[in-house]
Structures are given as C-alpha cells and as structure tokens.
Structure 1
Amino acid sequence: MATNISKPGRVGTGGARRSEWRSIANFTLHGLGFVGSTLLMTWGLFFLFFLALGGFSFDGFIHQLNNLTSRYVVADAARTGAFLNMFAIAHMILSAAIITFRRDRILPERKSEGERHHG
C-alpha cells in the first residue's frame, strides 16, 4: 500500500493549496469573529442604555422595555418605520464607534518569518 509522505521542508502543489485554504479559512473565521463580537458589543450597549434608563435596576429595565414594546405595538406603519430607521442609524453609529476602537484587531496577526516554517 503506497502512502503519500511529504518530506519536511518540501512544499508541493498539494501543500501550497492546503496552505492557501488554511489561510482563507483563518481569515474568514477571524473576520466572522470580529463581526460577531462587534454585533454583541453593540447589543450590549443597547442593553446598557435601557438599564441606565431604568435606574440600573432590573425592575426599571423591564419597565422601560415594557414601555417601548407597548408603544411599538400600537404604532401605525409610519411610526414603526421611523423607529426602525432610528434604530438602524443608532446601530450603525455604535458599530462604527466600536470598530474604530477595535481597528487594530480587524486583520489577524501575521506570523513572523521564523514562526511560518514551524507551523
């Protein structure tokens, strides 16, 4: 039975393709992690906003959410649309601010030349 054993230090076309796919997968996973963590931080800021409106108590927080939902449910289409636009703009502004503060983490860290040959 023949086995395909590559020698250390020798990179064939299969190894180069595998390395490319690893790099693409690493970059994609890092990007998805960055977007996901930014989204969670933005939602956390909305949570903190309603918590602050409620006087930093759980009862006040729930009261503020109840107030918001009761007004949203009875609103007509124009008011609902205006609310959704306001929410989207606030979400974009908060996301842009968080991305600005985290801009050094957008791209994955590059390995130094010595680390590339060992990995």
Structure 2
Amino acid sequence: VAEALHLLHERGIVHLDVKPDNIYVKDGVYKLGDFGCATLKDGSIQIEEGDARYMPLEILNDKHEHLDRVDIFSLGASIYELVKGSPLPASGSHFLALREGKLSLLPGYSLQFQNLLK
C-alpha cells in the first residue's frame, strides 16, 4: 500500500481516503482501492476529504498544503487500527490525541514499530 501511495504521489495524485475499508487483499497481495476522493497533489482541484478518523488535524482544519502527507498519516492510522484490533474513535479526547500522534502503547510490539506509526 505504501508503494501504491508512492507511485500516486510521484504522479502528482493523492488518495485522501486511505483506511482499512479501502485496502483489499487478494492472494496475499494488498491493493489500494476507492479513489473517489483522489485529487491532484497541488490542490488545484476541489478537495473531498475522506473519513475523519484517518485524517490529520491539518486537513480537518482546511489546511491543504502537503496533501501527500495526509495519505501517509492515514496509512499509519490504518495500520494502528488494524494492529490494535479496534476501530479508531470518531470524536472526543482520544480522537484529538491520535491526530497529534499520541498513541496508546501496543503491548507485544517493539517501540521502534510504535514510533514508526507516530
């Protein structure tokens, strides 16, 4: 999925809706789907935001610089949710903490891996 995002970003496209529901697996191969929110990285086309649970504060506050970083944040949030095994919060203090990269520890995973998610 990271390779797919890299390929998109090299071509000036951002996905803007990276989340577990849009990551498909077939025969052990992970694929990124649902490009309904995709747009040009330069922000020259109107932006349609994806699921707020996977968006950084900047995009939620209508700051649209560095849109490729939004996809990277969303990928990290998706991995965190999948590893944690429970849905990310849609609002409240835990929602805001995740937007700031303040993650609760994941027992059984190295600090290096957990820092990568941040």
TM-score scaled by length of structure 2? 0.23
Larger RCO (CA within 8 A; separation ≥ 6): 1
- Which of the two has higher C-alpha Rg? 1
Higher helix share: 1
More strand, by proportion: 2
